[in-house]
Amino acid sequence: MHILILGAAGMVGRKLTERLARDGALGGRAIAKATLHDIVEPQAPANVPFAIRTIASDFAAPGEAEKLVAERPDVIFHLAAIVSGEAEADFDKGYRINLDGTRHLFDAVRLIGDGYRPRLVFTSSIAVFGAPFPEAIHDEFFTTPLTSYGTQKAIGELLLSDYSRRGFFDGVGIRLPTICVRPGKPNKAASGFFSNIIREPLNGEEAVLPVSEDVRHWHASPRSAVGFLIHAATLDTAKLGPRRNLTMPGLSVTVAEQIEALRRVAGDKVVARIRREPDPAIIRIVEGWPRNFDASRAESLGFKAEKTFDEIIRVHIEDELGGRFVN
Amino acid sequence: MHILILGAAGMVGRKLTERLARDGALGGRAIAKATLHDIVEPQAPANVPFAIRTIASDFAAPGEAEKLVAERPDVIFHLAAIVSGEAEADFDKGYRINLDGTRHLFDAVRLIGDGYRPRLVFTSSIAVFGAPFPEAIHDEFFTTPLTSYGTQKAIGELLLSDYSRRGFFDGVGIRLPTICVRPGKPNKAASGFFSNIIREPLNGEEAVLPVSEDVRHWHASPRSAVGFLIHAATLDTAKLGPRRNLTMPGLSVTVAEQIEALRRVAGDKVVARIRREPDPAIIRIVEGWPRNFDASRAESLGFKAEKTFDEIIRVHIEDELGGRFVN
């Protein structure tokens, strides 16, 4: 089978590619080829047991989506997006990539016709929801995004459902939790601290906590995110019916609970590297974010996430730190 | 003030124009001018106390929306759409008019900038909802449309909210109930019988009832629909916050209740003109439709619909039949 990944140079795209390379198969079928696409050229992992083609281009540019799907990949992972902050800062760019790009991709698949009907996995976001929220956001809660990014993702979900209902492709939209622990360097994303306060202390570095410890948020590990993608690509979509978009399972914890898990896994010396430095701007942004979900539907369909934050930290230590951390 | 109506040749557009002509004002401000637009040239009503311009064009054609908003109308009523059946039969046309046309209109307003921020009233539809439903669809129920038309309307709602949040215009989206009693001749719409079984017998004509009498549906009169539009154009949107799309109030009644109301208002001889002729295709379509809503939010914001079906019939007799019917 042939797999196309859009957004393959991003963190989740890279980890998905590595997992596919390790497995050599998807849903019991051997992978013959993967096409990795992004705006910058994606890195192919070493020792891949199938053919890899890497492409750098703007998938929203005219004619580009058509080229990407011309070989009729069996499975398309659409992870490409302008992130939340940039989509808010640059209105035109966000709509051009996140809405028009997604629609062009969907239309390119549709216009092949001729019985071509790939599985298409679309990464949506919990940003499709906007405060005020119920205590836990359930599967039938309405989408009232408070960002242009969330609006574009919610529109992508609607298109995905309609194109699937019409039989143009076999779509599954998955709303990812905040990915934690996010590997790499601290970045300026408002959500960065959720990962920073775990990753940096484990590296022997100080990390800044800009919010109160009673802030509650919704997490899953990068390993779970890849698991969601694989499961979305292989599950029996007859079980979904026309409701194709799913809130992924995750773990709702407070910052205090994150810190206590870090203490259990790595000890007091590591935890002591977290420095409290309240930031009113971040405090205000985070107040509008979802805190908890009831993701019963995805769970009943077999999607799985971590059950404790200890587990999320251990996944990070295993997958990113070779099992060691700085005590 | 200057008012622009897109979709002015349709039934609701014509009735809105007549009401504005009668009132001569909107929200306490005198109307100086109205621009009436549709794909066919709208008829201006007689004795209008303000300037009227009529335009026939395809508002989704390149450059057309820009021309329509160039004079900076203070209020824009966007009623233009490809209807449900046609949007389902012609995928490209539905998306071109209902999605691209709406977005071009919104962008034309946005790109004027320079402090221009009109009130924009968008008619959405209960087709944004898809079965299965709760007993009454509440204000926070999710939108999972089962038609391309419903998908396009749900996307229009999301765009309306985002453009309003960004300050490009001051939008209000209203989801109209099925309009009953719809004036004119019987048409082929699957929902036509809800009106046919009232309108035709009152005209001395036979009408066909293709479904069981226990079918329940959600109705408001054309007069109420115009009232919703006027109220949406004049209400204080500070009360809406970022949630700009509202399910309008209506009346949930069974066909049996419709018929009993007709008997009370017009008598047995009129009711005897309803002929039962079950149509499996229509029965199946209607099974997927919403039956009842809890429109508390719109009601608390001052939107008003009929409380009894007797009232809906009397509105029809007053507004369409000059107070008389064929006994």
Co-location of A150 and A28 in the same domain: yes
Catalytic position from the list B95, B116, B149, B163: B149
* Cross-chain residue pair A161–B143, CB shorter than 8 Å: no
* Cross-chain residue pair A161–B155, CB shorter than 8 Å: no
Among A8, A76, A86, which Cα is nearest to A45's? A8
Q: What is the pLDDT of residue A288?
A: 85
Co-location of A165 and A269 in the same domain: no
Length of chain B: 327
pLDDT band at B186 (very low <50, low <70, confident <90, very high): confident
Q: What is the pLDDT of residue A148?
A: 96
Task: Please indicate, yes or no, if residue B116 is contained in any of the structural domains.
Answer: yes
**Chain A CB contacts of B144 below 8 Å:** 161, 242-243
Co-location of A59 and A162 in the same domain: yes
Q: Which of A145-149, B57-61, B192-196, B285-289 has the lowest mean pLDDT?
A: B285-289
Co-location of A231 and A290 in the same domain: no
Task: Please indicate, yes or no, if residue A183 is contained in any of the structural domains.
Answer: no
Q: What is the pLDDT of residue A285?
A: 86
Co-location of A304 and A157 in the same domain: no
**Number of A:B CB contacts under 8 A?**
54
Strands A29-30 and A25-26 come out as antiparallel
Going from the C-alpha of B196 to that of each of A128, A165, B254, B270, B273, the distances in angstroms are: 41, 31, 15, 13, 11
Co-location of A163 and A236 in the same domain: yes
Assess whether pLDDT exceeds 80 at residue B188. no
Assess whether pLDDT exceeds 80 at residue B138. yes
* Cross-chain residue pair A242–B144, CB shorter than 8 Å: yes
What residue ranges of chain A have pLDDT lower than 50?
none
pLDDT band at B156 (very low <50, low <70, confident <90, very high): very high
Task: Please indicate, yes or no, if residue B150 is contained in any of the structural domains.
Answer: yes
- What does pLDDT average to over chain B? 96
* Cross-chain residue pair A144–B161, CB shorter than 8 Å: yes
Co-location of A81 and A171 in the same domain: yes
**Domain CATH number, residue B65:** 3.40.50.720
- Work out the minimum CA distance from B146 to partner chain A, whole angstroms: 7
**Domain CATH number, residue A209:** 3.90.25.10
Assess whether pLDDT exceeds 80 at residue B237. yes
Going from the C-alpha of B15 to that of each of B8, B18, B173, B322, the distances in angstroms are: 9, 5, 19, 15
Mean pLDDT of B186-197: 88
**Chain A CB contacts of B141 below 8 Å:** 140, 142
Residue in chain A closest to B129 (alpha carbons) equals A142
Best of B133, B162, B243, B246 to disrupt the A interface by mutation (most A CBs within 10 Å)?
B162
Q: Please state the ipTM of this predicted complex.
A: 0.96
Best of B144, B147, B168, B243 to disrupt the A interface by mutation (most A CBs within 10 Å)?
B144
- What is the pTM (predicted TM-score) of this model? 0.97
**Chain A CB contacts of B243 below 8 Å:** 130, 144
| Phi and psi, residue A53, nearest 5° | -120, 130
Full domain range(s) for residue A311: 192-218+250-321
**Chain B CB contacts of A166 below 8 Å:** 91, 148
Q: What is the pLDDT of residue B185?
A: 87
Residues of A carrying an active site annotation: 149
* Cross-chain residue pair B242–A130, CB shorter than 8 Å: yes
Q: What is the pLDDT of residue B258?
A: 98
Radius of gyration of chain A (CA): 20
* Cross-chain residue pair B146–A243, CB shorter than 8 Å: no
Co-location of A166 and A308 in the same domain: no
Q: What is the pLDDT of residue B35?
A: 98
Task: Please indicate, yes or no, if residue B64 is contained in any of the structural domains.
Answer: yes
Assess whether pLDDT exceeds 90 at residue B189. no
Q: What is the pLDDT of residue A219?
A: 98
Strands B2-6 and A274-276 come out as unpaired
* Cross-chain residue pair B145–A161, CB shorter than 8 Å: yes
SS3 content of chain A, % helix, strand, coil (to 5): 40, 20, 40
Assess whether pLDDT exceeds 90 at residue B276. yes
- Work out the minimum CA distance from B159 to partner chain A, whole angstroms: 7
**Chain B CB contacts of A155 below 8 Å:** 155, 158-159
CB nearest to B142's CB, from A140, A146, A165: A140
Tens digit of pLDDT for each residue in A75-119?
Answer: 999 999 999 889 999 999 999 999 999 999 999 999 999 999 999
Co-location of A14 and A91 in the same domain: yes
Tens digit of pLDDT for each residue in B288-297?
Answer: 889 999 999 9
Distant-in-sequence, close-in-space partners of B277: CB < 8 Å, separation ≥ 6: B208, B209, B210
Task: Please indicate, yes or no, if residue B259 is contained in any of the structural domains.
Answer: no
Co-location of A233 and A285 in the same domain: no
Q: What is the pLDDT of residue B254?
A: 98
Co-location of A302 and A200 in the same domain: yes
Task: Please indicate, yes or no, if residue A226 is contained in any of the structural domains.
Answer: yes
* Cross-chain residue pair A162–B140, CB shorter than 8 Å: no
Residue in chain B closest to A134 (alpha carbons) equals B140
Longest dimension (CA), chain A: 62
Length of chain A: 327
**Chain B CB contacts of A143 below 8 Å:** 142-143, 158
Task: Please indicate, yes or no, if residue A18 is contained in any of the structural domains.
Answer: yes
Co-location of A20 and A103 in the same domain: yes
Going from the C-alpha of B219 to that of each of A95, A321, B290, B316, the distances in angstroms are: 36, 62, 11, 13
Total domains present in chain B: 1
CA atoms within 13 A on the CB side of A151: 24
Count other Cβ atoms within 10 Å, centred on residue B30: 11
Residues of A with CB under 8 A from a CB of B: 91, 130, 140-146, 148, 151, 154-155, 158-159, 161-162, 165-166, 242-243
CB nearest to A155's CB, from B158, B165, B242: B158
Best of B143, B158, B164 to disrupt the A interface by mutation (most A CBs within 10 Å)?
B158
pLDDT band at B285 (very low <50, low <70, confident <90, very high): confident
- Work out the minimum CA distance from B130 to partner chain A, whole angstroms: 9
Best of B129, B135, B155, B166 to disrupt the A interface by mutation (most A CBs within 10 Å)?
B155
Task: Please indicate, yes or no, if residue B23 is contained in any of the structural domains.
Answer: yes
Helix axes of B102-112 and B148-165: crossing angle, nearest 10 degrees? 10
